[in-house]
Amino acid sequence: MMNPRYAIWWLATAHFMNDFFSGTLGIILAAQNDQIGLSNTQIGTASAIFLTVSIIQPFLGWVSDKYQVPHFMILGSSITALGLLVVGLAQSYTLILIGVLLGGFGNAMFHPTGLASARALGGPMRKGRSVALFMLGGNGGFAIGPFLSGFALASFGPKGIAPFVLLNLIIVPILFWRLQTNLRDTLNNISSQSKAKHNQHTSSNTRSKWYQTTTMMIAVYLIVVLLRGVIYQALSTFLPKYYTDYGNNLDFAGAATFALLFCSALGGFIATSLSDRLPRLPIVSVSLFLIAPLGWLLLAANGWWIFALSVPFGLTIGAQWPILLMIGQEVLPGGASGSSGLAFGWGFIANAGGTFVAGLLADWIGLRETLQVVSLLPMLGAFLVFLLPAESPNENPTITLKTSYEPQESTS
């Protein structure tokens, strides 16, 4: 069995390979706009469908908890890649929708088991850093996807995504072959500890206390994730088109989107690593509050100023998401993979709804004005976040392993 400290890097690489294709969706749709013509509403709808499929993530997480199926991650990553290939080769909007539906299903298969495994590999004292590395892999792939594919699509059109799909189908099975022992042992450990925790918390008093104290936290959590997700997904979906609308080519659009998303990945890694040692809620709050002013500056920039401002804005907009996922594992019901599925699923659904509305609004008032409006939403979340659990994850190691049939006792 591989040392867990090395295994998390392999798992992060698998996350990179999956989210590489999630990140290419916006740039592929921008390229298809040149080929078959797409409105902002159509682009927003396609992106929303890709994300809305994530509504099945809690169910897939429950299946993973019950039957311990790490193969979900292999199949999920490959299906995501094939779905985006369909989007790139599509000659009609109907085929584009079929492709995003397929890609969204693969994406939903990968994430619940991936996040639960990443947190378990970190152990009780390094779970923040472990999740940070896992998310760095995914966010890094999400960032590099539009950068590399931008050059390929500029040269070969939407079908330029095909070589990247082939690489995924070759590399991902090798990664999971290397990880198979670690993943099997990790899922067995999650299952056994979850059952032990279930036996410790069976009294009606425990159930009553959990429901009384956690219902509000769940509602607040869902609102904060919604407010944050709208601007993040709207930017990753519409920035390529925004830049091309203002006279830039696909090469520039891909590079500029990469700069922002890469810094977003770095911001998530730094912030989540710090959350092992510093209070996590102030980190989330400050980063949410800064999204609006930095976003307005970025949208007003031209030329190389776009790249310069993408650094602080990317660091800011990516800082809170991995921490919010960890909080979601604590406040949402379900087993380790089940609660991960709920956290990821709601995040993707929030992104989907926001992107759909942003597409409609952009056709009405303009794309720049729409992005300016939605960038203001996270400021409300900056204040609401203090209603969530404030403790460091290291203060209660058992908090990571919840069963799918027993709610966790609140520690707030």
pLDDT of residue 289: 94
**Structural domain includes residue 312:** yes
pLDDT of residue 382: 92
Token pair for residue 133? 């590395």
CATH of residue 44's domain is 1.20.1250.20
Q: Are 364 and 74 in contact (CB under 8 A)?
A: no
pTM of the model: 0.69
The range of the structural domain enclosing residue 363 comes to: 4-400
**Structural domain includes residue 185:** yes
Q: Among 343, 348, 328, which Cα is nearest to 237's?
A: 348
pLDDT of residue 200: 46
Cα gap 388→221, rounded to integer Å: 7
Q: What is the pLDDT of residues 299-309, one digit of tens each?
A: 888 888 888 99
Q: What is the CA radius of gyration of the chain?
A: 20
Cα gap 130→147, rounded to integer Å: 26
**Structural domain includes residue 408:** no
The residue type found at 89 is L
Cα gap 62→139, rounded to integer Å: 25
Q: How many domains does the chain have?
A: 1
Q: Are 341 and 62 in contact (CB under 8 A)?
A: yes
Token pair for residue 240? 């390529």
Can you give the three-state secondary structure of the chain, one letter per residue?
CCCHHHHHHHHHHHHHHHHHHHHHHHHHHHHHHHHHCCCHHHHHHHHHHHHHHHHHHHHHHHHHHHHCCCHHHHHHHHHHHHHHHHHHHCCCHHHHHHHHHHHHHHHHHHHHHHHHHHHHHCCCCCHHHHHHHHHHHHHHHHHHHHHHHHHHHHHHCHHHHHHHHHHHHHHHHHHHHHHHHHHHHHHHHHHHHHHHHHHHCCCHHHHHHHHHHHHHHHHHHHHHHHHHHHHHHHHHHHHHHHHHHCCCCHHHHHHHHHHHHHHHHHHHHHHHHHCCCCCHHHHHHHHHHHHHHHHHHHHCCCCHHHHHHHHHHHHHHHCCHHHHHHHHHHHCCCCHHHHHHHHHHHHHHHHHHHHHHHHHHHHHHCHHHHHHHHCCCHHHHHHHHHHCCCCCHHHCHHHHCCCCCCCCCCCC
Question: 């989540």: which residue's tokens?
Answer: 272
pLDDT of residue 397: 40
Q: Among 109, 147, 115, 113, which Cα is nearest to 128's?
A: 115
The two most distant CA atoms of the chain are separated, in Å, by: 64
Question: 């919840």: which residue's tokens?
Answer: 402
**Structural domain includes residue 97:** yes
Q: Are 257 and 27 in contact (CB under 8 A)?
A: yes
Low-confidence ranges of the chain (pLDDT < 70): 1-5, 64-70, 122-128, 178-213, 333-338, 340, 391-412
pLDDT of residue 412: 34
Q: Are 261 and 148 in contact (CB under 8 A)?
A: no
pLDDT of residue 286: 94
**Structural domain includes residue 291:** yes
**Structural domain includes residue 405:** no
Cα gap 75→170, rounded to integer Å: 12
Q: Are 336 and 116 in contact (CB under 8 A)?
A: yes
List, in order, residues 6 or more apart from 69 with CB less than 8 Å away.
63, 113
**Structural domain includes residue 223:** yes
Token pair for residue 153? 């699509």
Q: Are 213 and 410 in contact (CB under 8 A)?
A: yes
